[in-house]
Amino acid sequence: MKPIFVLFFTCISLVSFSQPYKIESNKDSLMHYLNAKSNKLYPDANVEVLYEIGTTENVPLGDRTYNYEIAFKVYNAADIGDFADVVIPNVNNGIIKKITAICYNLENGKIVESKLEKENLLNDKLNNNVDVVKFSIPGIKDGSVVKYSYTCLNGYSKRKWIFQRDVPVAYSRFNYNTSTFSIITASAKTSVPFKTVENLKKLDASKLEAVSTVEKKTFNINDFENIEYRSWIRRNIAPFESEPLMEDENQLKDAVTIYFNGYSGEGFHRPLVVSWEEYNDKYWVKGNYQSVFSKNNFLNATVDNLVKSTDDTLLKIKNIFYYVQDNYTVNNNRIPIKDLLNAKQGSAGSINLLLCAMLRNAGFNSSIVLIANKYSDQLNPYLYNIEDLTNEVVSVEYKGTLFFMDASFKELPFGYLNSYLYNGYARVVNEVASSVELGTMLASNINNVNVNIEPIAEKNNEYSFSIKRSYGVYDAIAIRKLWKSDSSSFENTILDKGYDVTQKSGYHKESVVLENVNDLEKPLVLTIKGKMVIDANVNQLILDPFFVKPFTINPVNDNKDVKERKYDIYFDNVSRDNYTLNMKLNDNVTVEKTIPNTRFQFGKNGLIKYNQQVMYDQSRHSLLCKYNLENAAIMVPANEYQDLAGFYDEIIKNINQKIVIKNK
């Protein structure tokens, strides 16, 4: 290394980052932590992170380093998970060095130290690309305070820092230092907005809960050797707790992500991606995948064969989609579409590229749609965050409407994507380049249940029943998979465990039929037939008329006594549950009590509404029971949780009412 760079890195290392939780240097402070019996705000916490600091230094031509340091207090040693046994990954032939670990305990009022020794470091070659260094913290017990640190040289370079953990964190800091030469975009997501201060000094002095800075330090006239220091600090972070119907936790935890977008300096500007349009052209339409957008005569015979049998345009499109979906299986190999045509197996992306090419070959306006799914950061119209791209699907235009499809997924019909792909902004790749908003409202799941009940001969409480359930496209996914993996087990399970209300004793299932398992264009229909004996109490029969309920426990709190929620309630598809029961009563009984009709909705706009009707038709001596639950794909703010929980409690209460039938 040239001397100038040695000086340069020395300068970098002189910039130290202060943190308020002194462990080694302040024995009084350490004693305070050792004496602590529990976290004041979170007394159930088994561990509390006192501080956690990560520093990535990523400068051109220099070493890439990542320094990590953590100190934590142990309240309950028996349940601290990964805190006690540390695993440091090492990739790209990097070097893990300067590993130190020390555990402090209080014994008879004195501080006792247990230090990690070199001989207790364990090395493991995980696979051809990743090594790990492992160690167990010595001497951990209830009350311990632990500190460990390490440096990763030229290996793993951290660019996403998650401040929040499942335990309370008092102080968390991420530093990202790079040459001013680099084009960097930082994306921060926090429950408390970051206040930006001017420089590192002010950052260190700040006591704010969320504070950040970017400070440029000039070491040389050449930009190449000047450094931008970025730092983010979060304090007093609550443990992350999952809640039902919340977004993916990666979207909710406080975090900062660094995007590297190229290099820029005096007289030159070399971004990795200039714009989404440039990416569309350079990488896709005129780049690696230009074959998708070419004429592709090699597809003529296959495509002609698929479209020649019909004049219906939509049917032609579907024929191509279902051909690819049925005949191409997914593996991990991304191969050119020409090879894939005959190989019949390739990566999910390759299969959708082939589908797009075939649709275009047939003369349709089809494009590749690039998506960041709900488990990664959303695509951003201005950030060009190509690293977040996770899926390639296909769009086709028919009568002015765009239809989206994924031929690599075998359980969804034409026009549907998996619900985790409806994640807002997506890029449409074609000759003109555009974007599309893939909103959750496009994902629609409609369940219909029809129950018919007829009396059997003489006994007043014996009836035959038939339940016909037509599954919504998303609910059908799991059922189709179960059936395909072992239809006999599926049948046995239904016959044995039953089906919602029929799980109870008194319901004897006799047959199970599943229709349209392989025909995705038609709804999947499950029909169960059997006999039932209604619960008898003295001279009365108690009937639960709602055989299939949309839920049995409150979906927003799992029936737990929760007073408030932290996260918004997230419905990732439009759902509708329609239920109808027709019951012909035995001539020897009368209806003593039915269930009152109810209709209620959540919110002013009625985006979630429930309607329940029970009617006794005296002339036909029969019962008609119906309900309809409509749930829009919406985000309900956390502060409306109580109202929504009450709404669902009301549904549960109403749907569990009984009809009383009396012997004449």
Partner 1 sequence: MLLKISKLKYLISLIFVCALMIQNGWSKSKNHYASSNIESALLSNAEAVIRLDSTYLSITASGYVLKSKKVITILKESGRRWGRFVEMYKESTKISDIKGKLYNADGEEISSLKKNELRDVSTFGNSFIFHNDTRLKIYDFDQRVYPYTVEFEHTIKSTENLFLPSWNIQSSTNLSVEKSVFVLSYPKNEQVKWRENNLPAQYTFNQNDKGNLQELKWEIENVLAYKQALLLENKTNDVSVDFVKESIVLGAYSGTSSSWNTFGNFFYTINKDRDELPDAMVAKIKMMTDTCANAKDKVAVLYQYLQRNTRYVANEYGLAGWQTFPASEVNKLGYGDCKGLANYMKAMLKAINIPSHLVLVSAGENSFVKMDEQFVRSAFNHMILCVLLDKDTIWVESTSSTNPIGYLGSFTQGRNVLLLTENGGIVAQTPYYDKNSSYLNRKIEIWIEPNADNHKLTWNTVYSGVLQDDLVSLYKIGAQSRIKNYQSMIMPYKVFNIANFETKFNEDPYTVPFLNEKIEMSAKQLTEHIGDQLLVHIPVKESLMSKIYQKEKRTVPFEFVIDKKHKYQFVINIPQGYKIQNIPTVASISKPFGKFEINPTEENNTLLIDVVFEQNAGIYDAKHYDAYNEMYQFVEEHFNSIQFMLKK
What is the greatest pairwise CA distance in the chain? 104
Give the one residue of 506, 527, 576, 628 binding partner 1; rule: CB under 8 A.
506
Q: Is 487 in the site for partner 1 (CB under 8 A)?
A: no
Q: Which of residues 79-118 bind partner 1 (CB under 8 A)?
A: 79, 84-85, 114
| Per-position DSSP letters for 171-202, written without gaps between them | EEEEEEEEETTEEEEEEEE-SSPPEEESSHHH
Q: Is the dihedral of CA 256, 257, 259, 260 positive or negative?
A: positive
Q: Which residue in the block uniquely carries the two structure tokens 């509390």?
A: 48
| In the complex, minimum distance from the CB of residue 78 to partner 1, in angstroms, rounded to a whole number | 4
CB nearer to partner 1: give 128 or 619. Answer: 128
Q: Is 126 in the site for partner 1 (CB under 8 A)?
A: yes
Q: Is 657 in the site for partner 1 (CB under 8 A)?
A: yes
Task: Supply angle C-alpha 328, 334, 337, rounded to 5.
Answer: 60
**Cross-strand partners of 465:** 453, 530
Q: What is the DSSP letter of 283?
A: I
Terminal-to-terminal C-alpha distance of the chain: 100
Q: Is 264 in the site for partner 1 (CB under 8 A)?
A: no
Give the one residue of 29, 559, 598, 642 binding partner 1; rule: CB under 8 A.
559
| In the complex, minimum distance from the CB of residue 253 to partner 1, in angstroms, rounded to a whole number | 16
Q: Is 588 in the site for partner 1 (CB under 8 A)?
A: no
Give the one residue of 24, 113, 198, 241 binding partner 1; rule: CB under 8 A.
241
Q: Is 434 in the site for partner 1 (CB under 8 A)?
A: no
Give the one residue of 18, 92, 100, 136 binding partner 1; rule: CB under 8 A.
136
| In the complex, minimum distance from the CB of residue 41 to partner 1, in angstroms, rounded to a whole number | 13
How far is the C-alpha of 159 from the C-alpha of 186, rounded, in Å? 9
Q: Is the dihedral of CA 515, 518, 519, 523 positive or negative?
A: positive
Give the one residue of 342, 488, 618, 619 binding partner 1; rule: CB under 8 A.
488
Total residue count of the chain as it appears in this document: 664
Per CB under 8 A, the segment of 11-19, 77-85, 250-258, 611-619 that binds partner 1 is 77-85
Show Cβ contacts of residue 340 under 8 Å, excluding neighbours closer than 6 positions: 328, 346, 350, 351, 353, 354
Buried b (16+ CB within 10 A) or exposed e, 172-200: bbbbbbbbbbbbbebbbbbbeebeebeeb
Give the three-state DSSP class for 576: strand
Give the one residue of 24, 113, 124, 515 binding partner 1; rule: CB under 8 A.
124
Do the Cβ atoms of 496 and 478 come closer than 8 Å? no
Q: Is 333 in the site for partner 1 (CB under 8 A)?
A: yes
Site string for partner 1, 21-60 (x = CB under 8 A): -----------------------x-x--------------
Positions of E strands within 334-477: 345-346, 366-371, 391-398, 401-405, 424-429, 434-438, 444-455, 462-470
| In the complex, minimum distance from the CB of residue 486 to partner 1, in angstroms, rounded to a whole number | 8
Per CB under 8 A, the segment of 32-40, 391-399, 459-467, 484-492 that binds partner 1 is 484-492
| In the complex, minimum distance from the CB of residue 504 to partner 1, in angstroms, rounded to a whole number | 6
Do the Cβ atoms of 613 and 623 come closer than 8 Å? no
Task: Supply angle C-alpha 470, 476, 479, rounded to 5.
Answer: 110
| In the complex, minimum distance from the CB of residue 545 to partner 1, in angstroms, rounded to a whole number | 13
Q: Is 652 in the site for partner 1 (CB under 8 A)?
A: yes
CB nearer to partner 1: give 222 or 559. Answer: 559
Give the one residue of 32, 98, 141, 269 binding partner 1; rule: CB under 8 A.
141
Give the one residue of 513, 553, 615, 635 binding partner 1; rule: CB under 8 A.
553
Give the one residue of 50, 59, 140, 623 binding partner 1; rule: CB under 8 A.
140
The residues binding partner 1 (CB under 8 A) are: 44, 46, 76-79, 84-85, 114, 120, 122, 124-128, 132, 134, 136, 138-142, 241, 329-333, 344-345, 485, 488, 491-492, 495-497, 504-506, 535, 537-538, 540, 542, 552-554, 558-561, 592-593, 649, 652-653, 656-658, 660
